[in-house]
Amino acid sequence: MGQLPRWLTKALLGSVALLVAQPVYGSLNPTVRLTDAPTPGPWFAAQLIAQEMNTTPGRPLRIYDRHIAHMFAVTEALCRRFPQVQGWRWDYRAGGGSIPMGEFRIPCEMAAAMRSQFEPGPGQTIAIQVGRQSQNLVIRPLNITSEQVPAWLDVTETFRPWVSSDGQIRQIMSTLRRVKIPVLLPDDPLRLGDMQLFFVSTVSRPDQYDIVLYSFPGCRAGACTVGSYSGQRGGKLATPRKESPRDTHQTVRLANGIQGQFINSCGAYCTAVVQ
């Protein structure tokens, strides 16, 4: 077989280089819908509608992983266009809208963090439906090239659909099936003022449990950590040690007359614990 002409060889090599440099998910472009132009407020609703009936195929990234990446890129662009909105509640649907995939909540801070981690590429103009009108939106697709795929899969592994407080509590109790001691939780364990919290059970043994609370679903970084609920059979109250003038230790009376203690330890920042 003869050699390819030099000009064709260069063209093919150029095409291969272009494919390698492009973000892995760049070819997918689901429909984005907003019910209306956003108004000032904490959250606003949006829809991501994909035509695919099955979102599991694909290697190294599934179609699902690519859709989530697109959702984050669009959220980041919407947060820049509508800075008065705190975050976006995504109604993710496949099969042209017939298959509900769940509600995904992306705060603007989380979208910005993903933008920093995956360094977006050049801007791309997409059409979005706002009410009955179509508008253009410039997004910066996340740069999920081959070497970034494992990091993105870590994100989509933990970034799961939002569930109500009752649903999360059922999940908490399901993860604590092995625990043989009473699980003591407040009346509304996943609420801090107006903030909805999210949990991960990190320890689950017959004599001990540890439930860590986060401010955003799927975000386990220190900046997202709110606190934890822990219990241990035979546990003892910590011995107070005042190492900073701002430290606070005092005895408190808990529900049902149980005696406890409040400790507020301060260094670069303060950490409060009730035992």
What does the pLDDT profile of the chain (275 residues) look like in tens digits?
444 444 433 333 333 322 333 444 444 679 999 988 887 778 899 999 999 988 888 888 999 999 999 999 999 999 999 988 889 999 999 889 888 888 898 999 999 999 999 988 889 999 999 988 999 999 999 988 888 899 999 888 878 777 666 777 777 777 788 889 988 888 777 777 766 777 766 677 899 988 888 776 556 666 677 888 888 999 888 877 777 778 888 889 988 898 899 888 887 778 888 88
Tokens of residue 19, six digits: 């494919």
Amino acid 1: pLDDT: 41
269 domain-assigned = yes
Residue given tokens 């590429």 in the structure block: 121
Q: Do residues 128 and 32 lie in contact, with contact meaning Cβ atoms separated by under 8 Å?
A: yes
**Pairwise CA distance, residues 89 & 3, whole Å:** 55
**Pairwise CA distance, residues 146 & 25, whole Å:** 11
Residue 63: CB atoms within 10 Å:
18
CB-based contacts of 191: which residues, under 8 Å, 6+ apart? 165, 197
- Is residue 43 domain-shared with residue 126, that is, in the same domain? yes
Residue 23: CB atoms within 10 Å:
20
What pTM, to 2 d.p., does this model score? 0.59
- Is residue 262 domain-shared with residue 226, that is, in the same domain? no
256 burial level (CB within 10 Å; 0-12, 13-18, 19+): exposed
Q: Do residues 53 and 94 lie in contact, with contact meaning Cβ atoms separated by under 8 Å?
A: yes
Residue given tokens 């959250």 in the structure block: 43
- Helix/strand/coil (H, E, C) string of 218-248? CCCCHHHEEEEEEEECCCCCCCCCCCCCCCE
**Pairwise CA distance, residues 19 & 213, whole Å:** 41
- Is residue 22 domain-shared with residue 153, that is, in the same domain? yes
Domain span at residue 197 reads: 163-235
Instruction: List phi, psi (to 5°) of 270.
Output: -100, 140
CA neighbor of 212 nearest in space, from 264, 168, 250 = 168
- Is residue 97 domain-shared with residue 167, that is, in the same domain? no
Instruction: List phi, psi (to 5°) of 264.
Output: -125, 105
Count of structural domains within the chain: 3
**Pairwise CA distance, residues 271 & 261, whole Å:** 14
- Is residue 206 domain-shared with residue 125, that is, in the same domain? no
- Is residue 193 domain-shared with residue 207, that is, in the same domain? yes
132 domain-assigned = yes
10 domain-assigned = no
